[in-house]
Structure 1
Amino acid sequence: MGKVYYISKNVGLGLLLLAAIALTTILALSIAYHKEKMKNQGASESSVPAAPTTAFTPKDPWDHYRLPDALVPVSYRLNLWPRLQPNEDGMYIFTGQSSVIFRCVKETDLIIIHASKLNFTTTDGHQAKLSGVGDARAPVIQKTFLVKRTEYLVIQLRRKLTAGATYLLETGFVGELADDLEGFYRSEYTQDGVKKVVATSQMQATYARQAFPCFDEPAMKAVFNVTIVHDPSYVALSNGKETDISEVVIEGVRVKVTTFEPTERMSTYLLAFIVSDFDHVQSSQNNLLIRIWAKRTAIADSQGDYALSVTGPILQFFERYYNTTYPLSKSDQIALPDFSNGAMENWGLVTYRETALLFDPVLSSTGNKERVTTVISHELAHMWFGNLVTLKWWNDLWLNEGFASYVEYLGADYAEPTWNIKDQIILYDVHRVFAVDALASSHPLSRREDEVNDPAQISEMFNTISYSKGAAVIRMLSEFLTEPVFARGLSSYLNTFAFGNTVYTDLWDHLQQAVDNTPSLHIPRSIGEIMNRWTLQMGFPVVTIDTRTGSVTQKHFLLDPESVVDRPSQFNYTWFVPIKWMKTGVEQQQYWLLQNTDTHRPMSASGSDWVLANTNVSGYFRVNYDLDNWDRLLTLLNTHHQALSVINRAQIIDDAFNLARAKIINTTLALKTTKYLSKEREYMPWESFQRNLGYFILMFDRTEVYGALQAYLKKQVQPLFEHFRTLTANWTRVPEGHTDKYNQINAIWIACSVGVEGCRELISSWFRQWMDNPGRNLIHPNLKGTVYCVAVAFGGAEEWDFAWRMFKNSTLASEALRLRAAMACTKVPWLLNRYLEYTLDPTKIRKQDATSTINLIAQNVVGMPLAWNFVRAKWSDIYELYGKSSFSFPNLVSGIATRFSTEFELQELKKFKEENQDVGFGSATMALEQAIEKTKANIKWVSENKAEVLRWFTEEST
């Protein structure tokens, strides 16, 4: 599944800085990009009942969440008829017939198959019909019944099935085509004043069972034969190509019947079927049909053309990278008005939010284009890694999503080589996940199978650790193996296990074979030994280099060094660390730290020599130095910062600020890494600074420190603002460089937030021109998020209401997203309270956007207490409406608590946890524990650093 981007990257940057003006915070960026690639921290929520107050002890086979291993599916024949008009009860329904051929591998008198939210028709008083295939004789059914807790249809037989024999199980059923964004569901939109209904699907992770009875586990692969009955004026899509479309009369109704070619052998979570009034654009590549589907107006406005133009090249890249031909006959991608995730890699029919697939050549921004490219690349990477070869169980989800989150940059770089996008993994994934993995409540990438059983536990795996840490350690692995060796091992793995299932160690084995066949490559331990340290224990090390002696040490990095790590580690939190480094600008031979303490004499330095470790952040660890080397690096930044790469300038800032939060270095040392920024013009260091200063804003924007902080920020950003004013000829041109476009936005956001002369007036005048002439928006798409948020923030009800009207009338999803985010920027409490109420009304805010909208409001310093009170008061309703289908649900809890830094707020958070145990927290359970941990750390940090920070900002701002 794709990572989730709830707001555009540019809007996220804006929200970040408006925190500095009592509006929004750093968390908006993490929601903005992730990229949650969450492509992907991106996933669906579980539909399990609320947590019981007493523990449940399984007694019967159907009490366990995992299927028995006695039966294996071979193929399904599935016929579905979604009704896109409500029935006499006002409900939208679908009817279906399913037959599954399965093989018995162990004698059993039970058939247990997943089924949820379906009403079954009966045959001879039973909810299923069983027959033998070939010579097999089917036992008589004794009893059938449904189990709600574990979501099973259970068929008890009078005698046992025969091992080795094959059988056919047939069912007929009715389901609701609800608007809950899971299983087979309903999406609605308005076109030319007419309401349109789409029947669409989302099966990952455990929702296929809501569409038809199935063995709904990733290892239970089978071939699917799908037929869809639908309105003659609509089109039906599924994983395979259409093989037959005919018109018939059924039950007195003229319908079309669309039959699709059989799928390849695949998992249930990758199945998809859609009935819509959509249009498409298409192309052909080596006899492969490529189509982009969307609402007719979007296709007519050429919003699918860019996606079509990059899909072919990205597929070509992955065919070469994997050394494996794309295994299907077509590639459909479709933009849906209502979709809970960023995107989903259904094999041959990839589904997307509209903002992740559609790009308007006139109205969309550079950030919109980058998002479309990277999300497409992420999903197409899954066509091989995840779909062709699938992990056996969800405990290894990280390898599937982490891998796609890494190689998405490679595919996007091939499609858009001038962007230099591969470097952005540092900002969007590595630095992002560092913040989570430095908590005592983090978890290993790979969990034991028995830790991931029920749907809620499965949903919880779709998090930043799986996506972004997975990407970071896979990138590190590729770096120390070299890309050619990594690709050879990967190709061997995919070809060996095509159409099958694996565990993560299978990949290590094939990479080891590639290493063994490369005599020139020397690594100190086997792939398995090295990678187990990074995947089977949580966290990461801080590597400390003492250049006076050449001493190199490692230690488990914890943001709160006083926190207690309850999770044991068989490796005692020691890693095998590959360290790429340089000395006084000269790259050195890679060094491996294999123990807690070592001495590497070449790393000693004196005089003007300096050492920099983890060049280009190729490893997943932080770096600390002795004070002498820190001073030499600070001098280098202040005198000749271009001597260090852009990535490493960003790294020094990020490492220093986090080392300071962990009490490893002094906070003023971290702040000193930002003094050179008045001379910095590159995006990555400024972005790293913004994110880290964002923490200071969160902790101090309600205290006397904030004034001095703003004054320092104004002093630092003024040259950057003037640089872009000149570069753009007084804001009339667009910077040429890809990241320059983003840094222009940084310059404007920060300048407006701290009161640089003329900034707010400039923004307000642009917005006022649009208000005076709504049909003529002359604001450049790259700057719209900036302009909208600042104008609404410094305006009142008139600006907010105008933004609301434009939001409701917008026909471009990315434009609607910018406006939805901007409305959370107002400082008027009653407007924010009204907006919060809108999130519970799907006619105003779509269900897919509700929790992220609440979160955006919570990032506003004015909106935070309002959102917190709203969530507490309406937790039962919010959990029922959104906690079971919205991937952003964990972000809701963590987002609201981001600014918490007082003992009173900590007690409120604990009370919230206690008072809602009966309702439950679903996949937000871990997020709540992490919010409590972060709040404790915030309290201590503020207490210990407030006076020193105030003094430093006061001295440096003059």
Structure 2
Amino acid sequence: MTTKPDEFRLPIDVRPTHYDLTVQTDLETFTFNGLAKIELDVKKETSSIVFNTAELDLKDASIYSDVLKTEQVETARSFDTAAERVTLQFSTPLPAGSKARLSIGFAGKLTTSMMGYYKSSYEHEGKTKNYALTQFEPTAARRAFPCWDEPLLKATFAITMISRDDTINLSNMPVVSEKIWSPSNTSEDNDTSLVRLFSSLTTETSSSEDKWKISQFMTTPLMSTYVVAFANGDFSYLESSYTTQFALDIKAKVLPLYEKVFDIEYPLPKLDTLVAHDFDAGAMENWGLITGRTSAFLLDPARADMAAKKRVTVFESHEIAHMWFGNITTMEWWDYLYLNEGFFIVRIFPEWKVDSEFITLHLNDALNLDAKVSSHPVEVDCPDANQINQIFDSLSYAKAASVLRMLSNYVGEERFLKGVSLYLKKRLYGNSVTRDLWEGIAEATGIDVTKMMDNWITKIGFPVLTVTETKDGIRVRQDRFLETGPAEPKDNETIWSIPLSLLTVTEQGKPIVDHGIVLDTREKTIAIDTTKPFKLNAGTSGVYRVLYSDERVASIAEAAAKSDAVFSLNDRIGLVHDVMVLSKAGFSRVSSALTVVDTLRHEKEFLVWDSIAGNVATLLSAWWEQPRIVELLNKFRQSLYGPIAQRLGYDYAVDETADTTQLRTRAIEQAARAGDARVIGELKSRFAEYMKTGDDSKIPADLFRITLIVSVKHGGREEYEFVKQLYEKSTTPPSASTSAMYAMGSSENEECLRDIFDYILTNARDQDLVYFFAGLRGNNKTRRRLAKFFKDNYDTLYARFEGNFSLKYIVEEAFGGLSTEEDYEETVKFFKDKDTSKYNLALEQTLDSVRATSAWLKRSTTDILEWLEMWDKRE
């Protein structure tokens, strides 16, 4: 990065302490107007005021000083468009140590940008309805009102909203007063100053007959601008169209749980969730007014599958955790984003085995991204505002959470949570850096947490531990792991402090785990009996991979496959991920990984089968252009999942376990994707009945997505058009709409494929493009076509998503499925003359993936083909 840190940071000569913010919204003209009165602490004498603004029409500004006892109007103003800030000049300097009040009007347009204060729409009874809401994280509050838009610069907010009288106003806090006013109303009352204010705001857009609602909200605690929120619209449709009881139940369970765990009460009088039809991120933790996509919070209780229930639970739980991590205690700057995002605490459904599921959903996801040369530290230098959106990735979320989980397992969960509570209490309503968290946990544990954890947070990457067996035990060596193979010396300088969590077996055959061994040097020798089973990273709580000899891996797999296995569910999940990833990087052979999978074919636990499914899919995604390998891999996949599908059948019992439900779903899905004729026939038959009658009751909710995908893939225009209608029907549950997008992209019909690419440009909602792209990437017939589509329509797509979170995901989906050196070179060439500053991290990571896949194909094609051919002969 060439940007100097202060180029995108505000001077701190003047700091805000309180905003008296008035916003008038007009959903008929799609405009908003406002007035901000901002109380300021003047730290150093200054005659200039610098704050953030973007896409706003700023009116005249004035400032009142409590020392000077005079009000000055600005003498000059200048804009720095790149840094999104304005400087106001005043004739008389404000004295150091004084207080002042800045007053400035502003106006803006409600666009469909999904950032700042923007409009969203939906269809109801044949009419388009509109409403407005905010999305400020990370740097878009400045698009809604002039402000000091940095997390460190906290203030209190007293928000007043004016809107058409038939709409509802929402904000972070409860309404304390509300009344109706119209320009023709000249009566005097106690709020004449407020009436005059609104009169000045509304004269350009209203007639004397209009009626306006004035909503005044309670003043907030100290908070950062990015969690300020307000919304205006007729929200009754949202409240009546779907049953949101499930999300409310989650909130009611999670909120008191967090209050108990952190020993800090939730401080606001209310906590709403506003569900939006157009939303760039998944959800947003605005204090007191959580917002998010329909798919994040809504489900049809009569047709909700397990995935939807989990999704709502995770989103609601994560956003509520933010009420403490981010809202009460806020990172000092975006470098420390992980202090907000790294806490995943969901304990209300023990049958979901969330700690075990974490390994695939978060740990493995984090390690896959962190294995790239283009990775970045968890605590990432982020001086440039263009970079902030990009660090909302698996490193700030999943790696951070994984590192904290590792620390919790090492020190003990009770002491870890005590330390977290101490950290929060010491930084209540303030800001924090990494050191603050480590000090809290150190106080609770007596451990030098900073020494142990620093490299996990401040350095790029993670280690692979190579285990060499000796006559007296094992020798363990750590090196940085890269997906492209052994790291060069320049990339292999970090020495991590690694909790080894060594599992061994007693004379009685019982497993025991030593959590006290830490590898904080390059190598370490440990005395154990290697004639008995053993394993490092017991419970898969460590943020690293472990490389054993092929013989030891086979031995661990054989022991893990036994009904009385000494290796836990977490160990088996971690084993599957490690052997596959290590084979991709060339540390071991793909044939060895496939042998492990084959050994575990009688596994009972869903989460192990889930990890196998993901890794076999990775193989298919790599060798997607080699028909013989695809054919054999799918035959292998059918042999794994087909028998489970036939055994469990297609009917879901109300009283069955979560494991059984999820295993049935995954088995049928995998068998169908692998081309199992019986499964495909069954799903197509049920879909045909749905098309004929409009009744989807024959399709279990958990099989709805794969049924749509299979039926469109193996169907024609009729099936495609039917599914497209599901997407377009606003009354369908959000999960059905998402399933329809994936299914549309699975078509192999040329006419349908031409339609979907046109549809993406003309009809798809902006927030939905990533789902359409994901569906097309998963279709071998459209992978290259998707990349070409992105190139051909680059200017349109960039203009559509510039500044949104979605941009980086679209880049990843468009090019992440490519796999040859030629793909790499052509992609580099295409972006050579583009301004990639808003997605350069995603692009570099995607290019690394293409390069790693290309190397994997060269290295392992013979090996995987030979293993599959031998397996096929045995079958």
Counterparts of 1:57 and 1:716, CA distance in 2? 55
- Residue 200 of structure 1 corresponds to 133
- Residue 724 of structure 1 corresponds to 648
> Which aligned pairs between 1:583-662 and structure 2 lie closer than 5 A?
583-584=504-505, 585-590=510-515, 591-602=517-528, 604-606=529-531, 609-640=532-563, 642-662=565-585
* Counterpart check, 1:535 vs 2:535: no
Q: Relative contact order: is structure 1 or structure 2 higher (C-alpha 8 Å, sep ≥ 6)? A: 1
* Counterpart check, 1:430 vs 2:370: no
Deviation larger for 733-742 or 151-160: 733-742
**Are the counterparts in 2 of residues 120 and 174 from structure 1 also a CA contact under 8 Å?**
yes
Counterparts of 1:218 and 1:711, CA distance in 2? 53
Counterparts of 1:136 and 1:671, CA distance in 2? 79
Amino acid at match of 1:927: A
C-alpha distance 923-475 of structure 1, shift in aligned 2 (>3 A): farther
The alpha-carbon deviation at position 746 of structure 1 amounts to: 1.6
**Are the counterparts in 2 of residues 140 and 159 from structure 1 also a CA contact under 8 Å?**
no
**Are the counterparts in 2 of residues 440 and 566 from structure 1 also a CA contact under 8 Å?**
no
SS in 1 for 2:483: coil
Amino acid at match of 2:464: V
C-alpha distance 65-682 of structure 1, shift in aligned 2 (>3 A): same
- Residue 867 of structure 2 corresponds to 952
Deviations 1:84-121 (A, max 9, x none): 113xxxxx111111110111101222100111111123
- Partner residue of 1:68 out of 11, 18, 31: 11
- Partner residue of 1:674 out of 597, 618, 627: 597
* Counterpart check, 1:254 vs 2:232: no
Counterparts of 1:938 and 1:701, CA distance in 2? 11
Amino acid at match of 1:210: R
Amino acid at match of 2:485: P
- Residue 54 of structure 2 corresponds to 116
SS in 2 for 1:587: strand
- Residue 296 of structure 2 corresponds to 356
**Are the counterparts in 2 of residues 138 and 161 from structure 1 also a CA contact under 8 Å?**
no
Amino acid at match of 1:456: N
Deviations 1:679-722 (A, max 9, x none): 12322221211221222211222213222222222222232222
- Residue 504 of structure 1 corresponds to 434
SS in 1 for 2:632: helix
Deviation larger for 506-515 or 635-644: 635-644
Counterparts of 1:211 and 1:806, CA distance in 2? 35
Counterparts of 2:643 and 2:775, CA distance in 1? 30
Amino acid at match of 1:942: L
- Partner residue of 2:855 out of 940, 943, 956: 940
SS in 1 for 2:803: coil
Counterparts of 2:230 and 2:737, CA distance in 1? 27
- Residue 674 of structure 2 corresponds to 754
Counterparts of 2:391 and 2:554, CA distance in 1? 42
C-alpha distance 776-674 of structure 1, shift in aligned 2 (>3 A): closer
Deviations 1:701-751 (A, max 9, x none): 2213222222222222232222212xxxx5364672213222212211222
> Which aligned pairs between 1:5-24 and structure 2 lie closer than 5 A?
none
Deviations 1:592-651 (A, max 9, x none): 11111011113x412xx1111111111111112234422321332455474422221111
The alpha-carbon deviation at position 363 of structure 1 amounts to: 1.9
**Are the counterparts in 2 of residues 441 and 565 from structure 1 also a CA contact under 8 Å?**
no
- Residue 200 of structure 2 corresponds to none
Deviations 1:230-256 (A, max 9, x none): 111111000011000101113422111
Amino acid at match of 2:223: M
- Partner residue of 1:813 out of 734, 758, 772: 734
Counterparts of 1:683 and 1:883, CA distance in 2? 40
* Counterpart check, 1:906 vs 2:824: yes
C-alpha distance 810-82 of structure 1, shift in aligned 2 (>3 A): closer
> Which aligned pairs between 1:236-255 and structure 2 lie closer than 5 A?
236-250=169-183, 251=203, 252=208, 253-255=210-212
SS in 2 for 1:923: coil
Counterparts of 1:56 and 1:944, CA distance in 2? 40
Deviations 1:142-192 (A, max 9, x none): 212332111112111223221110111111121001111010100011112
> Which aligned pairs between 1:208-219 and structure 2 lie closer than 5 A?
208-219=141-152
- Partner residue of 2:764 out of 841, 845, 850: 845
- Partner residue of 1:81 out of 24, 28, 37: 24
- Residue 191 of structure 2 corresponds to none
TM-score normalized with structure 1 length: 0.85
SS in 2 for 1:425: helix
Deviation larger for 132-141 or 580-589: 132-141
- Residue 502 of structure 2 corresponds to 581
- Partner residue of 1:231 out of 148, 160, 164: 164
Counterparts of 1:897 and 1:825, CA distance in 2? 17
* Counterpart check, 1:742 vs 2:653: no
Amino acid at match of 2:842: A
Counterparts of 1:377 and 1:684, CA distance in 2? 21
TM-score normalized with structure 2 length: 0.93
> Which aligned pairs between 1:682-831 and structure 2 lie closer than 5 A?
682-703=605-626, 704-725=628-649, 731=651, 733=653, 736-811=656-731, 812-831=733-752
The alpha-carbon deviation at position 840 of structure 1 amounts to: 2.0
C-alpha distance 802-678 of structure 1, shift in aligned 2 (>3 A): same
- Residue 17 of structure 1 corresponds to none
> Which aligned pairs between 1:131-142 and structure 2 lie closer than 5 A?
131-133=64-66, 136-137=69-70, 141-142=74-75
* Counterpart check, 1:165 vs 2:98: yes
Count matched residues: 840
C-alpha distance 801-672 of structure 1, shift in aligned 2 (>3 A): same
The alpha-carbon deviation at position 755 of structure 1 amounts to: 3.2
The alpha-carbon deviation at position 778 of structure 1 amounts to: 3.0
* Counterpart check, 1:183 vs 2:127: no
**Are the counterparts in 1 of residues 689 and 695 from structure 2 also a CA contact under 8 Å?**
no
Amino acid at match of 2:321: A
Deviation larger for 772-781 or 182-191: 772-781
SS in 2 for 1:778: coil
Deviation larger for 527-536 or 695-704: 695-704
- Residue 189 of structure 2 corresponds to none
* Counterpart check, 1:100 vs 2:38: yes
Deviation larger for 632-641 or 528-537: 632-641
The alpha-carbon deviation at position 489 of structure 1 amounts to: 1.4
Counterparts of 1:205 and 1:421, CA distance in 2? 29
**Are the counterparts in 1 of residues 726 and 736 from structure 2 also a CA contact under 8 Å?**
no
- CA-based RMSD of the aligned residues comes to 2.0
SS in 2 for 1:553: strand
C-alpha distance 550-387 of structure 1, shift in aligned 2 (>3 A): same
Counterparts of 1:628 and 1:939, CA distance in 2? 28
Counterparts of 1:431 and 1:598, CA distance in 2? 25
C-alpha distance 638-241 of structure 1, shift in aligned 2 (>3 A): closer
The alpha-carbon deviation at position 134 of structure 1 amounts to: 5.9
Deviations 1:382-424 (A, max 9, x none): 1011100101100110121112xx22x3xxx22x233222321
> Which aligned pairs between 1:263-412 and structure 2 lie closer than 5 A?
263-279=220-236, 295-298=238-241, 301=242, 303-403=243-343, 406-407=344-345, 409=346
Deviations 1:4-36 (A, max 9, x none): xxxxxxxxxxxxxxxxxxxxxxxxxxxxxxxxx
Counterparts of 2:168 and 2:36, CA distance in 1? 21
Identity level (%): 28
The alpha-carbon deviation at position 894 of structure 1 amounts to: 2.1
The alpha-carbon deviation at position 225 of structure 1 amounts to: 0.6
**Are the counterparts in 2 of residues 610 and 629 from structure 1 also a CA contact under 8 Å?**
no
- Residue 881 of structure 1 corresponds to 800
SS in 2 for 1:911: helix
Deviations 1:882-933 (A, max 9, x none): 1322x23222222232332222212211111214x2xx23432111112222
**Are the counterparts in 1 of residues 645 and 667 from structure 2 also a CA contact under 8 Å?**
yes
Counterparts of 2:59 and 2:71, CA distance in 1? 20
Amino acid at match of 1:864: R
- Residue 481 of structure 2 corresponds to 557
* Counterpart check, 1:458 vs 2:388: yes
SS in 1 for 2:436: helix
Q: Give the gaps of 5 or more residues in structure 1.
A: 1-50, 87-91, 123-127, 280-293, 517-522
Deviations 1:813-833 (A, max 9, x none): 222111122111111233223
**Are the counterparts in 2 of residues 456 and 922 from structure 1 also a CA contact under 8 Å?**
yes
Counterparts of 2:26 and 2:639, CA distance in 1? 62
SS in 2 for 1:330: coil
C-alpha distance 732-672 of structure 1, shift in aligned 2 (>3 A): same
